[in-house]
């Protein structure tokens, strides 16, 4: 859905969406405003050939994998970004106390009922852990927002270093 919103906001923008959940892709495709500007692919984030891009989103993605795989995902996305490209990443921060307890509860519920799937459990990092990981892969965290969702969800806006 976020991909469709981005495609609608500019006639010059090409958007590629990737998900391993075919049902979610079906919903995204059924909402597509202009199929020539938004393409959706079923695939694995570890093997998908990420095209060179000016921007990328990782919204509520990383916590489904352990930290080592999160690092791999961030490195793959950073490698696809052109110099100066932007990564927008959102995830829950486990060090946010009660705010995180609600996010963790609803994520566990969503995986239990099959709305979201994971083979590895839930692996939320601390705010500092996310910042260190993003920095390690060559990104500069230029802005953080705590008002980008409920609970402990935090938005990290990053720019690829040259």
Alpha-carbon distance of 51 to 53, in angstroms, equals 6
Contact 138, 78 (CB under 8 A): yes
pLDDT band of residue 68 (cuts 50, 70, 90) is very high
pLDDT reported for residue 22: 79
Torsion of CA 88, 89, 95, 97, to 10 degrees: 90
Confidence of residue 1 (pLDDT cuts 50, 70, 90): low
Does residue 107 contact residue 116 with C-beta atoms inside 8 Å? yes
Cβ-Cβ contacts under 8 Å for 94 (sequence gap 6 or more): 100, 104, 124, 125, 126, 152
155 vs 6, higher pLDDT: 155
* Segment 94-133, tens digit of pLDDT: 888 788 878 887 877 777 777 777 778 899 999 999 999 9
- On whether the CB atoms of residues 13 and 6 are closer than 8 A, the answer is yes
How confident is the model over 73-93, as pLDDT tens digits?
A: 999 999 999 999 999 999 999
With pLDDT > 70 as the criterion, what percentage of the chain qualifies?
96
Does residue 10 register a pLDDT over 80?
Answer: no
Under 8 Å between Cβ of 133 and 71: yes
Lowest mean pLDDT among 35-39, 52-56, 68-72, 94-98: 35-39
């Amino acid at each position: 859905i976020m991909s469709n919103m981005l495609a609608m906001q500019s006639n010059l923008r090409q958007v590629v969406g990737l998900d391993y959940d075919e049902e979610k892709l079906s919903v995204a495709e059924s909402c597509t405003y202009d199929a020539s500007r938004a393409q959706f692919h079923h695939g694995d984030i570890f093997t998908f050939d990420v095209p060179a891009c000016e921007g990328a989103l990782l919204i509520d993605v990383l916590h489904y994998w352990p930290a080592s795989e999160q690092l791999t995902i961030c490195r793959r996305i950073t490698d696809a970004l052109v110099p100066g490209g932007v990564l927008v990443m959102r995830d829950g921060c486990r060090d946010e106390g009660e705010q995180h307890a609600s996010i963790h509860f609803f994520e566990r519920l969503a995986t239990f009922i099959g709305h979201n799937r994971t083979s590895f459990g839930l692996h939320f990092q601390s705010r500092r852990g996310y910042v260190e990981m993003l920095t390690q892969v060559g990104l500069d965290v230029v802005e953080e927002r705590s008002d980008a969702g409920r609970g402990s969800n935090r938005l990290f806006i990053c720019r690829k270093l040259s």
